[in-house]
Structure 1
């Protein structure tokens, strides 16, 4: 199948890890992720979607292929932590300034900052601001799945 890019906008909140958990719960609830059981080898052998995220990750296909969504990320990195597979890394103000000339990002900067995701199985998160410069949204984006 190959890797897939994904992106989500959520209302701003200071606790980015909590925002990630809420987003993942929503994506799971809305079934907005790839599930190999939706494509059974035989129409006579449908596989029901899991009832919980934990059950989802017990599935061998999901462990190998992922969900091609934010569900493939397991945490938000703290400042100073090195990037790693399955983690969302916040955009640092220095990165934002280098790419856009400002650390007060808006939706108009999305196309430029999307290049910050360079590897599969990783994600980023940026605080987006309204016209008055106040934080208004969190933008999560990344690449995952095989």
Structure 2
């Protein structure tokens, strides 16, 4: 996602985009796609199997919160420095992001910077679904 200061706005925009573009796993092949998030998550099979996308993440947690199912944990500058040796992550660091801890049904995100150290993107990753 393009960088913006408000992480919540970027998160909501990404979820909307993925939903509208149907860029997620829909368990009912051949059936109509849901018209709303509420309709999507009312489906018991979706609740169990997930969508294999950012739609399986419901909220962003803060640095003092413990990660839990369906949460998104931003990488802090301190964590980036400790794990990858820099507080200013770039696209070149993305292949190394598996070094940041996360579990199934959880997501992470990190601000990516350009060569001048300016924030340019927010990168989201994680694992969900069965």
**Fold shared by both chains (TM-score > 0.5):** yes
Q: Which of structures 1 and 2 has the bigger CA Rg?
A: 1
Q: Normalising by the residue count of structure 2, what TM-score does the alignment of the two structures yield? A: 0.95
Match of 2:24 in 1: 33
**Structure 1 portions without partners, runs of 5+:** 1-9, 39-45
111-120 or 80-89: bigger deviation: 111-120
Q: Report the Cα offset of residue 79 of structure 1.
A: 2.6
Structure number with higher strand proportion: 1
Deviating 4+ runs (over 6 angstroms):
none
| Contact 1:114/1:141 (<8 A) preserved | no
Number of aligned residues: 130
CA distance in 1, matches of 2:103, 2:72: 12
RMSD: 1.0
Q: How do 1:67-86 and structure 2 match up within 5 A?
A: 67-86=51-70
Paired position in structure 2 for 1:50: 34
Counterpart secondary structure, 1:136 = strand
Higher RCO, 1 vs 2 (CA within 8 Å, ≥6 residues apart): 1
Q: Say if 2:57 and 2:72, in contact at 8 Å, map to a contact too.
A: yes
Q: 1:15 aligns with which of 3, 6, 10?
A: 6
| Distance apart, 1:113 and its partner CA | 1.9
Superimposed CA distance per residue, residues 47-86 of structure 1 (whole angstroms, 9 cap, x where no aligned partner) = 2110011100001110010000000000111231111110
Give the alignment of 1:1-146 within 5 angstroms.
10-38=1-29, 46-146=30-130
1:15-40: CA deviation from partner (whole Å, max 9, x where unpaired): 111111100000000000001111xx
Q: Which runs of 5+ in 2 are unaligned?
A: none
TM score, norm. by length of structure 1 = 0.85
Is residue 107–residue 128 contact of structure 1 (8 Å, CA) maintained in 2? yes
Q: Is the 8 A contact 1:99 1:113 kept in 2?
A: no
